[in-house]
Chain A
Amino acid sequence: EIVLTQSPGTLSLSPGERATLSCRASQSVSSSYLAWYQQKPGQAPRLLIYGASSRATGIPDRFSGSGSGTDFTLTISRLEPEDFAVYYCQQYGSSLYSFGQGTKLEIK
């Protein structure tokens, strides 16, 4: 089973700043099968990025994903007030899924 570890646990930034979130896998993950989600309180998660770097439908271009192998990154180029939420990475491998524990992005 592949374990995903996200860092930092909490990231405190101001609107307009750049956010960099990390997701590290316990073993290599195919880039095709790495995704990122945003979740706001009381809501279901929303798919942001799939295939490590492809934006899902309707996702603003300030969100970008990168990485390969065991290290992946979600970057938000310029934070908007609505971007403060919890972010999860997710992988698919050997017909099984797993999620990281999440990074909370909070307003500084």
Chain B
Amino acid sequence: QVQLQESGPGLVKPSQTLSLTCTVSGGSISSGGYYWSWIRQHPGKGLEWIGYIYYSGSTYYNPSLKSRVTISVDTSKNQFSLKLSSVTAADTAVYYCARVDTAMVIFAFDIWGQGTMVTVSS
């Protein structure tokens, strides 16, 4: 049973870089056939896709965030990470990591982490 768990600071100062890590358990990131993704949800609002990475390192980002986002993978630790630079209060949100099963041709987010709240404030 694959599980995802987000970790990182819950408070980030404006203009700084938000950094989160998602640890994958019960399966290997290196096995292929999956996109490893980040999604966020502003308080009381809908879902916003941030981007995803394949185990090989290929990435795709939401065009609206692309200039500030970096997603990376560490296969040795079975983790992938999100960095969002130059944050403002508008980046305050719950951040989820999630998996896309491309091997089963699902192309949807079938497994999610529990989410972590990140507040941008001085």
Chain A residues engaging chain B, CB cutoff 8 angstroms: 1, 32-33, 35, 37, 39, 44-47, 50-51, 56, 88, 90, 92, 95-102
In angstroms, Cα B112 to Cα A32, docked, is 20
B109, A37: Cβ atoms closer than 8 Å: yes
In angstroms, Cα B49 to Cα A37, docked, is 14
A35, B60: Cβ atoms closer than 8 Å: no
A101, B46: Cβ atoms closer than 8 Å: yes
Chain B residues engaging chain A, CB cutoff 8 angstroms: 37, 46-49, 52, 60, 62-63, 96, 98, 105-110, 112-115
A47, B108: Cβ atoms closer than 8 Å: yes
A96, B47: Cβ atoms closer than 8 Å: no
In angstroms, Cα B113 to Cα A88, docked, is 17
Q: B96 — nearest CB in chain A belongs to which residue? A: A44
Residues of A within 8 A of B115 (CB): 44
A45, B63: Cβ atoms closer than 8 Å: no
Residues of B within 8 A of A33 (CB): 107
5 contacting pairs across A/B (C-beta < 8 A): A1-B63, A37-B47, A88-B47, A92-B108, A99-B47
Q: B111 — nearest CB in chain A belongs to which residue? A: A47
B49, A50: Cβ atoms closer than 8 Å: no
Q: A99-B47, A99-B48 are in contact. Are A44 and B113 (CB under 8 A)?
A: yes
In angstroms, Cα B13 to Cα A67, docked, is 45
B63, A96: Cβ atoms closer than 8 Å: yes
B107, A92: Cβ atoms closer than 8 Å: yes
A50, B107: Cβ atoms closer than 8 Å: yes
In angstroms, Cα B107 to Cα A50, docked, is 8
A99, B108: Cβ atoms closer than 8 Å: no
In angstroms, Cα B95 to Cα A44, docked, is 10
B107, A95: Cβ atoms closer than 8 Å: no
In angstroms, Cα B60 to Cα A32, docked, is 19
Q: A98 — nearest CB in chain B belongs to which residue? A: B49
The listed residue (B62, B109, B112) touching A90 by CB distance below 8 A is B109
Given A50-B107, A88-B47, A96-B60, list of 17 further CB < 8 A pairs? A33-B107, A35-B106, A35-B107, A35-B109, A44-B98, A44-B115, A47-B109, A56-B108, A90-B47, A90-B108, A95-B60, A96-B63, A97-B52, A97-B62, A98-B49, A102-B46, A102-B47
